[in-house]
Amino acid sequence: MEVINAIGRRKSAIARVYLTEGTGKITINKKDIETYFPSAILRYVVKQPLETLEVEGKYDIKANLDGGGFTGQSQALRLAIARALVKLNAEDKKVLKDNGFLTRDSRAVERKKPGQPKARRRFQFSKR
């Protein structure tokens, strides 16, 4: 089996994934997943598409993560893994789409406006 690659984005995080047949080892930026994501919740988020399709021990995943924080990175990685699994087997697309793993979450931080302290917060109005 050849290497299958996919990309996932969330907020300002970008995940590039390389999927190969193997033993289920997940490597992120040349580190093990337990080292990169110490939180069990973030590791769960990353493995959700694999658990849904019940293929957890079948594929080795190498990922390059760039930008964003740990939550955005984990969700970008989840999207990239789901896209790679669809490239591998097109019949899995419906299951992954129904669970929401193929939807790119486009929400990002709103920019700060000039003359205001934050994006929407305004300075207190004083009549006198």
CA–CA–CA angle 121, 126, 128 (5° rounding) = 170
94: part of which helix (H) or strand (E)? helix 93-98
Tens digits of residue pLDDT in 2-24: 899 999 999 999 999 999 999 99
How much is the mean pLDDT over the chain? 94
What is the structure's pLDDT at 113? Answer: 96
Contact 11, 66 (CB under 8 A): no
From residue 103, give the alpha-carbon distance in Å to each of 1, 57, 63, 84. 27, 24, 19, 14
CATH of domain 2-97: 3.30.230.10
Q: Which helix (H) or strand (E) holds 6?
A: strand 4-10
Query: Which tokens belong to 19?
Result: 């999927």
Compute the distance between CA of residue 16 and CA of residue 76 in angstroms, rounded to an integer: 9
Stretch 31-46: mean pLDDT, rounded?
A: 94
Q: Give 40: exposed, middle or buried? Use CB within 10 Å, 0-12, 13-18, 19+.
A: exposed
pLDDT band at 71 (very low <50, low <70, confident <90, very high): very high
pLDDT (0 to 100) of residue 128: 87
Whole-model pTM: value is: 0.91
